[in-house]
């Protein structure tokens, strides 16, 4: 089902699309191709964070649920070499380019190519030079639901010039319907992570053993636990097949499992989120530690880091990412 959701400050119409299959219902927005609302049968609250007012997505909730890119995460110095040239991007976090800059994909209104009861395909055209990124790029995102409660996302992109592509979904998950994620248990089968400097730029790769980033046996997250805004290394390169990325379990017994083809998982605990004057789907504004962002993607600052999984996309090649979110309740 399609319906109007609102209008952006510059007058672009945004639609909401609702999908249903088995025990799962999902609402998506054409703004940022965002996952707006996720409902599991028998659970009386949403499992992801969204806003009832479209104005929130132009403010403090700009990344909530959206596909971020064309290069997700951080690019040091808002620049990167490509084919002998130094590309300059739009900085929006000090000297860093974060999630494609201030005019990244999260700000774009995607076009609906097709829609059924359980699937929708959205497309986006990114002109050469937008935000400093090269190539006329076509991006396609297909969301589909499979019973009993699986949400699948397949992203594909093509370009007519060599470029960088690293797209990530930036949903925040909260499985208990409470103001914070405290009490949630996060498990990640990663034995390495990327330490960062003060600008949150990776300084290399390290073993998780003996650190706050060892989630292999499951650890509590949220208020009162060590802060996290880091990449966990799932593999050394993108894969053609899905691999287990993480499991998040609330005290309610609701569990989210994520499988992906991507080699990294950025984990952010929303500890810096300030209470906004916009009402969330629970009827209250979101504050610090309101949700857990679990973002399958290539490793941060990939264009500048030798030895990191490549996020280069050559003209004529196809970028592909697949991620599956599976929900259950004990």
Distance of CA 325 to the CA centre of its chain: 12
Residue located via tokens 């965002």: 34
Q: What is the C-alpha separation between 27 and 118, in angstroms, rounded?
A: 11
Selected catalytic residue, list 150, 170, 184, 230: 170
Cβ neighbours around 251 below 10 Å, total: 12
Cβ pair 170, 106 in contact under 8 A: yes
Selected catalytic residue, list 15, 108, 262, 295: 295
Q: Is 295 a catalytic residue?
A: yes
Distances from the Cα of 109 to the Cα of 224, 285, 311, angstroms = 38, 24, 24
Catalytic residues: 170, 295
């Amino acid at each position: 089902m399609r319906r109007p959701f609102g209008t952006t400050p510059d007058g672009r119409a945004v639609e909401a699309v609702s999908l249903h299959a088995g025990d799962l219902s999902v609402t998506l927005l054409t703004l940022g191709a965002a996952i707006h609302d996720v409902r599991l049968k028998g659970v009386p609250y949403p499992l992801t964070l969204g806003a009832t007012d479209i104005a929130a997505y132009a403010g403090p909730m700009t990344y909530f649920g959206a596909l971020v890119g064309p290069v997700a995460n951080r690019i040091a110095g808002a620049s990167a070499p490509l084919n002998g040239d130094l590309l300059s991007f739009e900085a929006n976090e000090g000297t860093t380019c974060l999630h494609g800059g201030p005019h990244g994909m999260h700000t774009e209104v995607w076009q609906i190519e097709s829609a059924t009861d359980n699937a929708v395909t959205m497309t986006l055209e990114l002109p050469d030079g937008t935000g400093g990124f090269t190539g006329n790029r076509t991006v396609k995102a297909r969301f589909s639901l499979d019973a009993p409660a699986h949400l699948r996302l397949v992203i594909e992109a093509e370009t007519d010039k060599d470029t960088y592509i690293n797209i990530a979904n930036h949903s925040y998950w909260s499985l208990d319907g409470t103001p914070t994620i405290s009490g949630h248990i996060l498990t990640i089968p990663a034995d390495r992570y990327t330490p960062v400097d003060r600008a949150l730029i990776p300084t290399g790769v390290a073993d998780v053993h003996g650190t706050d980033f060892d989630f292999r046996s499951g650890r509590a997250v949220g208020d009162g636990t060590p802060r996290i805004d880091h990449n966990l290394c799932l593999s050394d390169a993108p894969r053609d097949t899905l691999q287990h990325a993480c499991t998040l379990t609330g005290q309610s017994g609701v569990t989210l499992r994520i499988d992906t083809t991507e080699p990294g998982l950025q984990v952010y605990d929303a500890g810096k989120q300030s209470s906004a004057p916009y009402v969330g789907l629970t009827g209250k504004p979101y504050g610090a530690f309101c949700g857990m962002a679990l973002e399958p993607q290539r490793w941060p600052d990939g264009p500048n880091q030798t030895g990191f999984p490549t996020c280069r996309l050559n003209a004529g090649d196809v970028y592909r990412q697949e991620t599956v979110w599976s929900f259950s309740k004990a």
